[in-house]
Amino acid sequence: MFKEILQKEKEFFLNFKNYDNHINDIFIKEKITKQDFLKLLFNEDDLILEKMALESKIITDKFFGKTILLYAPLYISNYCENECVYCGFSALNRELKRKKLKLEEIEKEMIILKEKSFNTILLLTGDDRINSDIDYIAEAIKIAKKYFSEILIEIYALTYEEYKYLVELGLTGLTIYQETYDEKLYDKLHLAGPKKNFNFRLEAPDRAAKAGIKEINIGCLLGLNKNAVFDVYLTAIHADYLLRKYPDIEISISYPRIQPAEAKIKIENFVSDRNFLRYITATRIFLQRVGLNVSTREKEIIRDNLIGLGITKMSAGSKTTVGGYHLNTKDKGQFEISDKRSVEEIIEVIIKKGYRPEFTNWVKI
């Protein structure tokens, strides 16, 4: 399991001495080391960042082609038992109107998304095994199977048996963020609830992989940890571990940035656009075959400029409210969407950038 590797990598990170000498040598290597990766993450030279962006584009086009996969998130329930101090769905949020879609409403949402050409869907819930139990999620997957080739979930961490059950019903992918790999900070951010169990969440990707999942997307929530490089580094190391241990599984990374206005805690280390680009391009150079995702949490200009610089997947036309696609609601979502453009507008941007928007990752036979 990754737990043992995590401890060693934490020690490696803390003992790393950042010397910028010979940093240009990194760009002539076919495969860079984790020491090289850290040098790129720590480097603040804009000229080096330009080289990173160029190298990232070359690698992305080589291994992924000039395509961007578009997917849609579908929130089916916002009930949650966790007391996470940074999340809009947190049980601490007493003002949030809790809602759970009926099965017929889930299908209405899916039909709307299918009409927009989506063939990849991400089902999301809060962490509540009463209002969003495994059977409810299973029924949503059964409906999704009628419309989509690729079905992913972003829910609470499951057992091996539960993942296996959902895979047998048609589940193809899992998105699960550790949020931060600093265990002490993690404990402070998660006051109560099932998510407070750091190790159970950390080992969820392993359980899903052994259960037969085809795609795993992991990530950290940038802004929670003052030392953002620490979490970026360990997220990439976690992805590298999964890639090596489960070579037949598609591994992806997301680096969502929390906005200061959306958290109930003070965000003391908001990640700048420049550093955000540095983390993405450095990760692409280090992990050439790992997918990189960006959501509508990011602003239009950021998302547009990331096309071709490492990103391989984007959400589009997203709603983060329960029933947001078919209900005219002013409810608050899990987070504030920054890129509110339509799917058609995003497609137009991708094409203008010289890339092809793609709605199908693979087709099930």
Q: Is the pLDDT of residue 328 over 70?
A: no
Q: Does any domain span residue 96?
A: yes
Q: Does any domain span residue 186?
A: yes
Buried b (16+ CB within 10 A) or exposed e, 185-218: bbeebbeebbbbebeebbbbbbbbbebebbbbbb
Give residue 87's pLDDT band: very low, low, confident or very high (50, 70, 90): confident
Q: Does any domain span residue 342?
A: yes
Give residue 226's pLDDT band: very low, low, confident or very high (50, 70, 90): very high
Q: Does any domain span residue 363?
A: no
Mean pLDDT taken over the chain: 92
Q: Does any domain span residue 14?
A: yes
108-160 pLDDT, tens digit per residue, is 999 999 999 999 999 999 999 999 999 999 999 999 999 999 999 999 999 99
Give residue 297's pLDDT band: very low, low, confident or very high (50, 70, 90): confident
pTM: 0.94
Q: Measured between alpha carbons, how far is 216 from 242 in angstroms, rounded to an integer?
A: 9
What's the whole-number mean pLDDT along residues 291-315?
94
Listed ranges 1-10, 198-207, 263-272, 296-305; the one with the highest mean pLDDT: 198-207
243-263 pLDDT, tens digit per residue, is 999 999 999 999 999 865 555
Structurally, the chain folds into a number of domains equal to 1
Q: Is the pLDDT of residue 9 over 80?
A: yes
pLDDT at residue 95, rounded to an integer: 78
Q: Does any domain span residue 365?
A: no
Q: Does any domain span residue 364?
A: no
| Domain region containing 186 | 2-26+33-358
Domain harbouring 297, CATH code: 3.20.20.70
pLDDT at residue 96, rounded to an integer: 79
Q: Does any domain span residue 239?
A: yes
Whole-number percent of the chain with pLDDT over 90: 81
